[in-house]
Amino acid sequence: MRHTPLACVVLAAGRGTRMKSAYPKVLHRIAGRTMIGHVMATVQALDPDHTVVVIGPDMDAVAREVAPLPTAVQARQLGTADAVRAARESLAGFTGDVLVLYGDTPLVQSETLQALITARHHPSDPAVVVLGMRPNDPARYGRLVVSPRGELEKIIEYLDATPDERALTLCNAGLMVFDGMRLFDIIDRIGNDNAKGEYYLTDAVTIARASGYSSRMVEGSPTEVLGVNARVELAEIEHLMQTRLRRLAMDSGATLVDPSSVHLSHDTRLGRDVVVAPNVVFGPGVEVEDDVEIRSFCHLEHVRIGTGSTIGPFARLRPGADLAADVQVGNFVEIKNSRIESGSKINHLSYIGDAAIGAGTNIGAGTITCNYDGFAKHRTDIGSGVFVGSNTALVAPVTVGDQAIIGAGSVITNDVADNALAVGRARQRVLGGWAERFRDMKTGKRADST
Ligand code: UD1
Ligand code: MG
């Protein structure tokens, strides 16, 4: 249990020019959720008392994404310390722990944040705790200088570092926890006399020391704090997130036959003994109950699938598809905004949109709900135990009663009563011998062409 109040400051004012995008960087998506959305979810897991997101002046879209949580605007991007300063008013009077993290590191986990907060309460009462890491390639990260006794002495930015300092492998991951009582005293003393001419948050360590306060370092995993600067990194982080989500799905009892070909969303929920064949895409908002089989090449988004159902191959379940137990959806079937009751079958080549289908109903191959008249969408209501013959067009709005039968090839424009047979197609004519006469005429065996 945490006794000290917690505030989180999420830095997201960076323009992200290397994304070459019209949208702020943190709004790009990983596993169906914006990067800032991931970070906010992780932060919320800590149940902080205050959260503030620091954004640039032209980032209303980011403010809307994090709402109702508040934002603070950093007028000009003068560095990470200046970004924290932008949160000062939001934190007025706050004396607990202040966690500072970045909006473009969606893989960070709340356990890591918790470890930093815990270290803030070390008996040495550090003014600041920094997350360190040892990446394979230390690249241009800030380097951590740690004393032989293990105390964090300073952080030196790559551009300002000597060759000896650049040779250090322990790097600054960017996440820090401050004692809120000392935070702004320290921030106010940070200058910008450095290679970039920026106010570096990393200088907090040296300034704390000069004031007689200690600093600590907690080492974390470099992959967790990978940031996105360009599209290639967006793809790399997507890959890492997918690996994590597939693991979670399998750990909770789903079989992914070929995990690397299954694309999950941050909120995909797969029940026990769900079997997912290769090449399936789960968009956001999919909930699958136990014992469901999803065959290859299905695409699902904002749908619920009940226990024991079988989906695909090649099915597309769009938002609002709500399937009860033991439903069968076969190949080349598209379902949107429709409730399908238990035991019903839609096995081949159908479009079911804005419909309700009762229990134990059989929808024949090629059945289409004609839900759109070019202006508005209309509903189709089909009862229980109905048999819809193949190649039926149901022109909505229309209702089909329980136990009704619809003849194949029908165009149904009027409501059908319970237990009725509806046939709506041209009556068949059979002209005996006509085919033979026709062929004879064409091949000249018969003279009379009149
Ligand atoms: C920073 C650290 C570096 C660390 C690295 C880890 C500093 C001075 N350096 O460097 O030691 O190794 O992160 O990734 O802190 N931001 C603002 N306003 C600003 C500047 C930045 O909101 O004026 C935000 C950015 O949107 C981003 C984060 O702060 O989310 C980090 O900024 P960035 O420019 O990426 O810092 P680095 O130079 O990578
Ligand atoms: Mg960076």
**What is the Å distance from ligand 1's center to 391 Cα?**
60
Ligand 1 pocket list (CB less than 6 A): 11-14, 54, 74, 77-80, 82-83, 102-104, 141-142, 155, 157, 171-174, 200-202, 227
**What is the Å distance from ligand 2's center to 97 Cα?**
24
Q: Map out the domains of the chain with their CATH numbers.
A: 6-225 (3.90.550.10), 231-422 (2.160.10.10)
Q: b/e map of 73-88 (b: 16 or more CB within 10 Å)? A: ebeeebbbbbbbbbbb
- HEC profile for 194-217? CCCCCCCHHHHHHHHHHCCCCEEE
Given a cut of 70, whether residue 1 has pLDDT beyond it is no
Closest CA to 90 of 57, 37, 51: 51
Q: For 158-186, how does the pLDDT look when each residue is reduced to its tens digit (9 = 90+)?
A: 999 999 999 999 999 999 999 999 999 99
**What is the Å distance from ligand 2's center to 5 Cα?**
28
Give the predicted TM-score (pTM) of the model. 0.94
Given a cut of 80, whether residue 2 has pLDDT beyond it is no
Enter the tokens of residue 36.
């800032």
**What is the Å distance from ligand 2's center to 130 Cα?**
16
Ligand 1, atom 35, residue with closest C-alpha? 14
Q: What is the dihedral of CA 420, 425, 426, 432, to 10 degrees?
A: -80
Ligand 1, atom 25, residue with closest C-alpha? 14
Of ligand 1's listed atoms, the one at least distance from the Cα of 200 is 8
Largest Cα–Cα distance in the chain? 117
Residue labelled with tokens 């032989």: 148
Per-residue pLDDT, 428: 94
Per-residue pLDDT, 190: 98
**What is the Å distance from ligand 1's center to 436 Cα?**
84
The string of DSSP codes covering 82-135 is: HHHHTTTGGGTT--SEEEEEETT-TT--HHHHHHHHHHHTSTT--SEEEEEE--
Ligand 1, atom 11, residue with closest C-alpha? 142
d(Cα 298, Cα 274) in Å, to the nearest integer? 14
Per the CB < 8 A criterion, the answer to whether 102 and 80 are in contact is no
Per-residue pLDDT, 233: 95
Per the CB < 8 A criterion, the answer to whether 252 and 236 are in contact is no
Per the CB < 8 A criterion, the answer to whether 342 and 306 are in contact is yes
Is 378 a catalytic site residue? no
d(Cα 176, Cα 1) in Å, to the nearest integer? 20
Best residue among 66, 80, 178 to mutate for probing ligand 1, ranked by most atoms within 8 Å of CB: 80
**What is the Å distance from ligand 2's center to 56 Cα?**
16
Give how far Cα 377 sits from Cα of 323, 337, 358, 372, 411, Å.
21, 11, 20, 5, 18
Per-residue pLDDT, 448: 59
Considering every ligand atom, which ligand is closest to the CA of 156? 1
Region 307-317 average pLDDT: 98
Ligand 1, atom 34, residue with closest C-alpha? 14
Given a cut of 60, whether residue 369 has pLDDT beyond it is yes
Per-residue pLDDT, 205: 98
Of ligand 1's listed atoms, the one at least distance from the Cα of 105 is 30
Per-residue pLDDT, 148: 84
Of ligand 1's listed atoms, the one at least distance from the Cα of 141 is 12
Beta bridge partners of 143: 156, 171
Of ligand 1's listed atoms, the one at least distance from the Cα of 103 is 30
Give how far Cα 170 sits from Cα of 152, 331, 370, Å.
11, 54, 63
Q: For 402-433, how does the pLDDT look when each residue is reduced to its tens digit (9 = 90+)?
A: 999 999 999 999 999 999 999 999 999 999 99
Helices 35-44, 110-120: axis angle to 10 degrees equals 50
Q: For 371-400, how does the pLDDT look when each residue is reduced to its tens digit (9 = 90+)?
A: 999 999 999 999 999 999 999 999 999 999
Of ligand 1's listed atoms, the one at least distance from the Cα of 13 is 22
Burial group, residue 251, by CB count within 10 angstroms (0-12, 13-18, 19+): exposed
Considering every ligand atom, which ligand is closest to the CA of 174? 1
Confidence at 445, pLDDT banded by 50, 70, 90: confident
Catalytic residue from among 266, 299, 348, 378: 348
